[in-house]
Every structure is written in structure tokens, then in C-alpha cells.
Chain A
Amino acid sequence: MKGSAQGRKRYRRSMLARFGFNFYDIFVYAFCILFALVCVYPMWYVFVASVTPYEEYIKGGLMLWPRGGIDFQYYVAIFSTRSFVNSLWISVSKTVLATALSVLVTSTMAYAVSKTHIRGMKVINALVVFNLFFTGGLIPQYMLYQDLHLLRTYWVMVIPGALNITYFIIMRNYFTYSVPKDLEEAALLDGCTDVGVFFRVVMPVSRSMIAAVTLFIAVINWNDYYNYMMFIGNKTNLQPFAWILRRMLVDQSMMNTVRNGAAGLGMELPPPMALRMATIICAMIPILCVYPFLQKHFTSGITLGAVKE
């Protein structure tokens, strides 16, 4: 017994040695993989639970794999609720509009302000950054939107966020440090105007950065419910998807609508927990679709306060 245990131990050690492993590595891999699982397992669990038939789900436990077949009944219940589908349209349209506006306004301004030798740009830069730390606050914002007749309209979710200060700073740093100055100067020497430099040199060079920022701002807009909650309030035909989500997941004020709707379709009354899980998955799908593109870009310096090369 003893001999074989020792033998096994020695064998294992030699296996580890062959792959260049030691206990330091084991700790590193174990820790990282464990944390990765902590990040992803909840989502997987929720997915599995949301497609598990009720009889199996009620048994509980850590579900690693769907048991007893796959059943999309909860998704049917969700998508047969009218306000759900309506909110998807609101969210898609406002995300497209707000993102396009925001990227246009923010990128052009960031480029202009990165030209610090032009008079006034340093002042404008300081004025923008100041806003990151000093704002009027909720009530002054509310009063302003009231005066501008934006309150309780669709446009309050689109227009006010046009200048995104965080991405202004990131883009400004990109234009200052990452677009080669020689390229712009060469174009100017060749008789190119500022307009030409911007459209023919700077934009093509910064294409992937702009794409990345667009995706980031789109995700922010897709997830935004704050503007609806604060400045629209109770117009149900303008509810964005993120707000419906909140009403399903957090305060659960929409739960009964969906459950009764499902009962109206001739289903069994679905358990709230299962409906919540199905909602989480519905909400995650658009993010998961753009995630590969996001990940491709954000490692390339789309972060605040990165160290200069």
C-alpha cells in the first residue's frame, strides 16, 4: 500500500516536472481558474435552470447540465408579453440614435481639443473635464429638462448624453498620443487641408478605436434605465428594455403581468424564480453577441489613466 502511494506520488511529480510545473504554478492556475468560474458559473447556472423543466428544477442543487430535457416555456411566456416586445424596440432605437449622436459629437470634439496649439482648446478641455467632477445634480438637471421641454419625452434618453466625458478623455488621449504626428504633418506638407487630414488620415488611422468606443457607448446606452426612471417616470409606452428588466428582476412589479399572461396562454403558472432566470438570459444575449468585438478592442488602450509608453 505504502509503496504504491509513494510510487504514485513520484510518478505525479515527474509528470508535473515534465510539463514544467511546480506548486507555484498550481496555485496560480487554481486561483485564476477558480475566479474565472466564479465569474461565469452564475450565468451558466441561470441558463441551465431557465431551460430545465419545472419538475426537475424544483429538486434544486447545483445544476451543471440541463436535466430532463430542454424546455423553452419561460421564454415563450416572456416574449408573449406585449410591453416586453415594445420595450425592445424602444431600446434598440434609442441605443442606435444615442450612440450615433454621442460618437459623432464626442469624437469630433476630442480630435479638435487634442490640437492644443490652437487657441481656446486648452480652456475647452478644462471646462469639459471639470464636468466629470462637478455637476448640478439631479434636481437642477430635472429643472433644466423641464425648461427645455425634454421631460417625459423619448428624446430625454437620446440627446442629453451626446457628450460622453469619459470617452472624450479616452479619445482625446488617443488622438494626442497614438495618432502619429508625422503622418498628419506629411499630409499637410503635401497640400492637404485640415479637412483632408481629418477625413483622409486621422479617421482611417483611428478606425478601430472609434469602433471600440462605439461599442462601449452602445453597451452603456443599452443598459441605461436611469434617464427613463428619473425624467420620464410613468409613460409605459416609452419603457426601455433595461427598465422592464428592473421591474422583472429587482422590484418584480411586472412579475404578475408575465405570470398571468403565461397562464392565459394555457401554461402552468410559472415560478417567479424561473421567469427571472429566463429574463436574465434574454438580457445577456445582446451583450454576449457583441462581447467578442468588445474584448478584441478594449485591451488596446481603451482604459483611463494608462501609462505612457
Chain B
Amino acid sequence: MKGKSAAETPLDQRSLLQRFAVYMRKYWFIYLLVLPGLICMIVFNYGTMYGIQLAFKDYSPRLGVWGSPWVGFEHFREMIADPNFIRAFKNTVIINVYKLLFGFTFNVFLALLINEMKIRRVKSVVQTCVYLPYFLSWVIFAGLVQVFLEYPSAADLGGVVNQVIASLGGTPIDFLKTPSMFRGILTISNIIKTAGYSAIVYFAAIAGINPTLYESAAIDGANRKDMMLHITLPRILPSVAVMLILELAGLFVSNFDQVYNLYSNYVLSTGDVLSTYIYRISLGGGTEFELSTAMNLVLNLMGLIVVLIANKFIEKLDVQGIF
């Protein structure tokens, strides 16, 4: 505010250019700081936008992106008629709903329970353990999942889970090649990898609760479970709401890293998601460059609408939004 008042009054008579020069001289350093990022953003983020026209064109490498002929909404019609796209879309939404139903509630539950532990050392050891998987890449994590669920073969005795099944007298299951189990595996592996880390937001909210609330509740004879349900839980609800909205905003976003490292041709029917499908038809072996760009455009627009709606709700809560 102070910058404005100092720069404005005597300058009104001067030309626009002079005013600009004075403003720049005053704030040149801030503008200098913003410059590298601005250039990166324009080149690498907005620079890709011109490629979106491919969605409306028939690309030929000889003519380049600009020279290729326009075909209108041809690729969008193709997209809607593509059963594999519809399947990938459905899988993405279903997997995200699973992650929301089970993963999200688990995160809140875990945060509340970890907070209930009163022995400091046990609590910090548990926290150290549950945060760790988040920092391993999905490649490593997928490696772990495979090692555990591996089907016995001639060269190897199979994963631990199948060893246990065999020792109990059951027949081994090829988990990662069974379509009906794939979504479950995605959901559970996602919980193990991210639950601890996601709980941090709630710990921060719990840390902000006034301790006198608990003291007066204790005097009134409330036990710990009552305190959790009637003090802690209502106090972290704003955080829960924000995380829920952020989660909902990603309804059409699929986790390429996770699915790409876990899926195989056997589980495409339940496990193929949008990002893996778009990859497969374009750079990953296919040549449907225009179709994949069209799909990306539609998904981005849909995602953007959901995010804008979600942000309207976030603004109503007293939180740091993302905008």
C-alpha cells in the first residue's frame, strides 16, 4: 500500500511511460526476482499451449504443427467412439472413488489414532515408520508390491503372500494379473504409501487446538474417546474439508506413476487409466498424436471446471487456498 501512495500523487501529470519508469526504478529488484520464473513459465508451460491446436488438426511431420490442415472436431468424435477411452475414463473415476472412500477416511482415522498415543517415544517411532514410504518412488514401491505378490515360477518360489497361502494349503494367486483384484491393489498400495504423509495436515490442525478445552472436558468427566469425538474431530473438520475438496478436484486425474509401474496387459480391463492410455496411444508405441492431444484437452477442461467449483468452497472456509 505504501508503495502506491508514494508513487501516485506527484506523478499524475506525467506520461504513462515516465510513471512506468519511476515504478520500475522503485521495484526493479522484485521484478528482477520474478523474471527467471516468468521466462520459464512462458517458455515451458505456456509454450506447450500452441501444440493444443493438434487436437483440431491432421498432423503430418512434413508440414509441422502450424502447417498441418485443420479437421475441426474430427478427433473429438473419434474419442467419444473409442471404447478403450471410455473404459479408461471409467477406471480412472472408479479408482479415484475407491481412493476417496477408503484412502481418505483412513488418513483421518490414522491421524486421530496416532494423536491419541501418549507415550512420546512410541508415537515418534510410529510416525517415522508411516511417513517413510511416501519418499520412495513408485518404481521402488511397485518393486516391493511385486516382490510380495509374485506368483511362484520355475526360477523362484514366489512372493511372501503366496508362500503364506501355500503353507496354509491354498492355491497361489497371481494377484497382479487378476483384473478383479487390481483396483484393490492400487487402493491399498496407495494407502500404505501416502497415509502417513497425508495425516501431517491433520496433525498440524490438532496442534492448533487450545489445550484448555481438553482440561475443562476432563473436569466435566469426559473420557478420552469422548474428547476425540467431540473436541478433536470437530476442530479438524475444516482441514478435512479442504483435503476432501482437493481430492475431489483430482477426480479425473490418474496417477501415471503408480499404475504404469504396476499394471500389465492382463489387467487393462480394470486397471487402464487415462494417463496410461494416452501414453500408450501416443509416445508409448502408438501414433495417435492428435487423438491423445484432444483427450488431454477435454480432461483438462473438465478438471479445471471441477477445480474452480472446489475453490469456491475452499474460499468459504478460513484456510490458505491454492489461488
Q: A284-B136, A291-B132 provided; 18 other pairs, C-beta below 8 A?
A: A37-B129, A43-B132, A109-B34, A111-B33, A135-B45, A135-B296, A137-B52, A139-B283, A140-B52, A141-B51, A177-B320, A273-B155, A276-B143, A280-B144, A294-B135, A305-B239, A307-B208, A309-B208
Q: Are B139's CB and A242's CB within 8 A?
A: yes
Q: Are B322's CB and A129's CB within 8 A?
A: yes
Q: Are B322's CB and A169's CB within 8 A?
A: yes
| B residues 125-143 in Cβ contact with A at 8 Å | 125-126, 128-133, 135-137, 139-140, 142-143
Whether A299 is near chain B, meaning CB under 8 Å from some CB there, is: yes
Contacts of A242 on B, CB cut-off 8 Å?
A: 137, 139
Q: Known contacts A33-B122, A298-B200; is A245 also within 8 Å of B139 by CB?
A: yes
Whole-angstrom distance from the CB of A145 to the nearest CB of chain B?
9
Task: Determine which of B30, B34, B319 lies in contact with A305 in the assembled complex, contact meaning CB atoms within 8 Å.
Answer: B319
Q: Are B163's CB and A61's CB within 8 A?
A: yes
Show 8 A/B contacts (Cβ-Cβ < 8 Å), sorted by A.
A108-B36, A118-B31, A125-B323, A134-B300, A138-B282, A163-B41, A222-B137, A306-B201
Q: Are B140's CB and A140's CB within 8 A?
A: no
Whether A104 is near chain B, meaning CB under 8 Å from some CB there, is: yes
Contacts of B282 on A, CB cut-off 8 Å?
A: 138-139
Whether A160 is near chain B, meaning CB under 8 Å from some CB there, is: yes
Interface digits, A114-152 against B, CB 8 Å rule (1 contact, 0 not)? 010111110011111101111111111111100010000
Q: Are B143's CB and A33's CB within 8 A?
A: no
Q: Are B45's CB and A250's CB within 8 A?
A: no
Whole-angstrom distance from the CB of B236 to the nearest CB of chain A?
8
- Stretch in contact with the other chain, from A7-15, A77-85, A192-200, A205-213: A192-200
Q: Are B278's CB and A29's CB within 8 A?
A: no
Q: Known contacts A131-B45, A299-B203, A306-B204; is A124 also within 8 Å of B38 by CB?
A: yes
Interface digits, B237-275 against A, CB 8 Å rule (1 contact, 0 not)? 011001100100000000011000100000000000000
Distance A133 CA – B4 CA, assembled complex (angstroms): 33
| B residues 173-216 in Cβ contact with A at 8 Å | 192, 195-197, 200-201, 203-205, 208
Whether B27 is near chain A, meaning CB under 8 Å from some CB there, is: yes
Distance A193 CA – B4 CA, assembled complex (angstroms): 17
Q: Are B323's CB and A271's CB within 8 A?
A: no
Task: Determine which of B117, B144, B205 lies in contact with A29 in the assembled complex, contact meaning CB atoms within 8 Å.
Answer: B117
For chain B, the count of residues having a C-beta within 8 Å of the partner chain is 104
Q: Are A46's CB and B40's CB within 8 A?
A: no
Q: Are B300's CB and A245's CB within 8 A?
A: no
Contacts of A168 on B, CB cut-off 8 Å?
A: 37
Whether B86 is near chain A, meaning CB under 8 Å from some CB there, is: no
Whole-angstrom distance from the CB of A74 to the nearest CB of chain B?
13
Report which A residues bind B (CB closer than 8 A): 20, 24-25, 28-29, 31-33, 35-40, 42-43, 45-46, 58, 60-62, 104-106, 108-113, 115, 117-121, 124-129, 131-144, 148, 159-160, 162-163, 168-169, 173, 177, 193-195, 198, 219, 222-223, 225-226, 230, 242, 245-246, 249-250, 271-273, 276-277, 279-280, 283-284, 287, 291, 294-295, 298-299, 301, 303-309
Q: Are B322's CB and A46's CB within 8 A?
A: no
Distance A118 CA – B7 CA, assembled complex (angstroms): 11
Distance A40 CA – B223 CA, assembled complex (angstroms): 32
Q: Known contacts A36-B125, A137-B278, A144-B48; is A307 also within 8 Å of B204 by CB?
A: yes
Q: Are A249's CB and B139's CB within 8 A?
A: yes
Interface digits, B286-307 against A, CB 8 Å rule (1 contact, 0 not)? 0001101100110011011001
Whole-angstrom distance from the CB of A272 to the nearest CB of chain B?
6
Q: Are B37's CB and A109's CB within 8 A?
A: yes
Distance A61 CA – B162 CA, assembled complex (angstroms): 10
Q: Are B117's CB and A139's CB within 8 A?
A: no
Interface digits, B8-19 against A, CB 8 Å rule (1 contact, 0 not)? 000000000000
Whether B101 is near chain A, meaning CB under 8 Å from some CB there, is: no
| B residues 30-58 in Cβ contact with A at 8 Å | 30-31, 33-34, 36-38, 40-41, 43-52, 54
Contacts of B110 on A, CB cut-off 8 Å?
A: 32, 35
Most buried by B among A61, A142, A280: A280
Whether B219 is near chain A, meaning CB under 8 Å from some CB there, is: no
Q: Are B204's CB and A303's CB within 8 A?
A: yes
Whole-angstrom distance from the CB of B202 to the nearest CB of chain A?
10
Distance A223 CA – B114 CA, assembled complex (angstroms): 29
Q: Are B156's CB and A272's CB within 8 A?
A: yes
Contacts of A273 on B, CB cut-off 8 Å?
A: 147, 150, 155-157
Contacts of B220 on A, CB cut-off 8 Å?
A: none
Contacts of B303 on A, CB cut-off 8 Å?
A: 133-134
Q: Known contacts A121-B34, A137-B300; is A163 also within 8 Å of B307 by CB?
A: no
Distance A305 CA – B317 CA, assembled complex (angstroms): 11
Q: Are B1's CB and A305's CB within 8 A?
A: no
Most buried by A among B164, B201, B243: B201
Whether B116 is near chain A, meaning CB under 8 Å from some CB there, is: yes
Distance A194 CA – B32 CA, assembled complex (angstroms): 11
Task: Determine which of A109, A117, A287 lies in contact with B3 in the assembled complex, contact meaning CB atoms within 8 Å.
Answer: A117
Most buried by B among A20, A230, A307: A307
Distance A141 CA – B46 CA, assembled complex (angstroms): 10
Residue of A nearest to B193 (CB): A39
Contacts of B314 on A, CB cut-off 8 Å?
A: 305
Q: Are B116's CB and A249's CB within 8 A?
A: no
Q: Are B3's CB and A29's CB within 8 A?
A: no
Distance A301 CA – B208 CA, assembled complex (angstroms): 12
Contacts of A106 on B, CB cut-off 8 Å?
A: 37
Whether B113 is near chain A, meaning CB under 8 Å from some CB there, is: yes
Whole-angstrom distance from the CB of A187 to the nearest CB of chain B?
13
Residue of A nearest to B128 (CB): A295
Whole-angstrom distance from the CB of B81 to the nearest CB of chain A?
20
